[in-house]
Structure 1
Amino acid sequence: MSNNQIDQQPLVTLLSDFGDRDVYVGIMKGVIAQINPRLTVVDLTHQIPPQDIAAARFSLMNAYAHFPVGTVHLAVVDPGVGSKRRAIAVEFTQGFLVGPDNGIFSGVLSQSPAIAAVELTNLNYWRTPQPSKTFHGRDIFAPVAANLASGVPLKQLGQEIDPVSLVNLDIGNCKQTTTSVVGCIQYIDHFGNLVSNIPASYVQGKSWYVQVAGLSVPGCKTYSEVKVGEIIALVGSHGWVEIAINCGDAHSQLQINLQDVLEVLFFSENQTSEYC
């Protein structure tokens, strides 16, 4: 090994709706450390709203690309825990996904399709052959993620399944017309920004505005292009068109919610825009 090479174990990321009040997250980290204390564990977030699979889907979709190839992403937002929903591990180009088969990974897989997938049926890689009916994060997902990051082959973890059979959480696709793009709100962040499912590529290099809930919202590049307290549309750091209020909470002030429809419209060359 050259001096420039680093002997580093793969990363494991954690995402959940467990919050930081209880010990659930710490327990999962303890289980991972029991299997391999050399693994680096990164908390993506544990503040996903309870049982909000759509928010978890969006958050993981916008985080995975910022980690090294080979990273194991462990995600537990699991309202179906203890039911017949499958526990799965998935290999994709950037690494691996471990968690419930409830659509939580469908955002990632829409951008980087699955290479292979297994249902986690090999009890040898569970913490116990009799897992809790309410805490698969501790008893199944954390030990599997630790073993996977430590080099256990995916196929050894359980029964192979067709990636096509994985649950897809359908939030709808944006639709382009000759003069506009119609989409919906797919995520609301901590600041109350309303993130749509319209990618930045649709508005790049164009003059545009958004119509939503009876409002016409200017399409700009930075918050500072409008006054404090004014509504604005712009492309967020995640690469999606979003609605915001400069130094305010667009969700609470505008009463616009998940799945609400919005439309991006474009100015023609002959039109004069009073917007940004």
Structure 2
Amino acid sequence: MIHPIITLLTDFGSKDHYVGAMRGVILGINPLATIVDITHHISPQNIVEGAFLLSSVYTYFPQGTIHLAVVDPGVGSKRKPILVKGENFFFIGPDNGIFGLIYDQLKKISVYELTNAHFFLKPVSATFHGRDIFAPVAAYLSRGVSPLEMGKETKNFQRLSLPQPILEKKRIRGKVMYIDSFGNLITNITVNHLKKLENAPGKIKIRENIISGLSKNYQEAKKGTLLAIIGSSNFLEISVREGSAQKKLKSQKGDDIKVY
């Protein structure tokens, strides 16, 4: 692969030089690489949020894409740097659960602990493995270097424990998992969960507010009112037409939600 796509997902923000440094390292090793920014505005150190967003977007890229994810509160510790090989994609980042949802989605994976310092930038900073380990490894991988040349396969890697919805015959209890920039409350309840209810969702309750049924689109609700809708990632979302559900409800991640 000479003209690969390498995506970047981090909690670095856009104010500082960190993302630019990673881009520079990648292009210094493979000037033909195409770098795509997924987001650099993951909430600081929020591994669950990073895992959710990465798992929601990676399949939309061409086969062979290398996804580099750095949400790394344990940088410089004993946590391993890893490379994950799936059937159609590669993932590079810290072994801290950031790829946990992807492990659950892929039928076959191989995980490699990155141990060959020949492919690292030197000296390796204790606080910036994104620049010194993950970026160069992604670049070398894009040039055709085998994962086995850069590390050793391991069966010992971190998964991610997320709150799962509680399913009963006539109701589902879930939680707000993520809040996007529009103030939409994205829950951990999927379309498939809703299909298991004996009856179609009649009401959705959150913070003592009750919403009747699901809307097919935002226009079905009056301006400024709450609605429940299936979002583009197939999760149940609570929204406000032309407004912010987060602000209206003073909601936060982890809030309870009940469908019945």
What is the TM-score of this pair, normalised by structure 1? Answer: 0.88
Q: CA deviation at 1:10?
A: 2.2
Offset from partner CA, 1:118-164 (integer Å, 9 cap, x none): 11111011011x310111010000000111122111111112110xx
Q: CA deviation at 1:56?
A: 0.7
**Residue matched to 1:160:** 153
- Choose the corresponding residue for 2:193, options 188, 193, 202: 202
- Which stretches of structure 1, 4 residues or longer, exceed 6 Å deviation after superposition? none
**Residue matched to 2:99:** 105
> Do 1:17 and 1:49's aligned partners in 2 also have CA atoms closer than 8 Å?
yes
Q: CA deviation at 1:92?
A: 1.1
Q: CA deviation at 1:207?
A: 4.5
**Residue matched to 2:23:** 29
Offset from partner CA, 1:197-253 (integer Å, 9 cap, x none): 111233369343311222211321111111111011100111100111111111122
**Residue matched to 2:164:** 173
Offset from partner CA, 1:88-145 (integer Å, 9 cap, x none): 11111231110011111112222114521111111011011x3101110100000001
Aligned partner of residue 63 in structure 1, secondary structure: helix
Q: Does 1:185 align with 2:185?
A: no
**Whole-angstrom CA distance in 2 between matches of 1:89 and 1:187:** 26
**Whole-angstrom CA distance in 2 between matches of 1:200 and 1:73:** 26
> Do 2:82 and 2:112's aligned partners in 1 also have CA atoms closer than 8 Å?
yes
**Whole-angstrom CA distance in 1 between matches of 2:107 and 2:162:** 17
Aligned partner of residue 62 in structure 1, secondary structure: helix
RMSD over aligned CA atoms reads: 1.6
1:139-158 equivalences under 5 Å are: 139-158=132-151
> Do 2:103 and 2:159's aligned partners in 1 also have CA atoms closer than 8 Å?
no
Percent identity between matched residues is 42
**Whole-angstrom CA distance in 2 between matches of 1:147 and 1:25:** 18
Number of residue-to-residue matches in the alignment: 256
Change (3 A) 1:106 1:148: same
Unaligned runs of 5+ in 2: none
Change (3 A) 1:21 1:105: same
**Residue matched to 1:227:** 222
**Whole-angstrom CA distance in 1 between matches of 2:76 and 2:201:** 50
> Do 1:90 and 1:96's aligned partners in 2 also have CA atoms closer than 8 Å?
yes
Which 10-residue stretch deviates more, 97-106 or 215-224? 215-224
**Residue matched to 1:261:** 256
**Whole-angstrom CA distance in 2 between matches of 1:103 and 1:18:** 18
| Amino acid in the other structure paired with 1:167 | Q
Q: Does 1:117 align with 2:111?
A: yes
Aligned partner of residue 80 in structure 1, secondary structure: coil
**Whole-angstrom CA distance in 2 between matches of 1:172 and 1:149:** 35
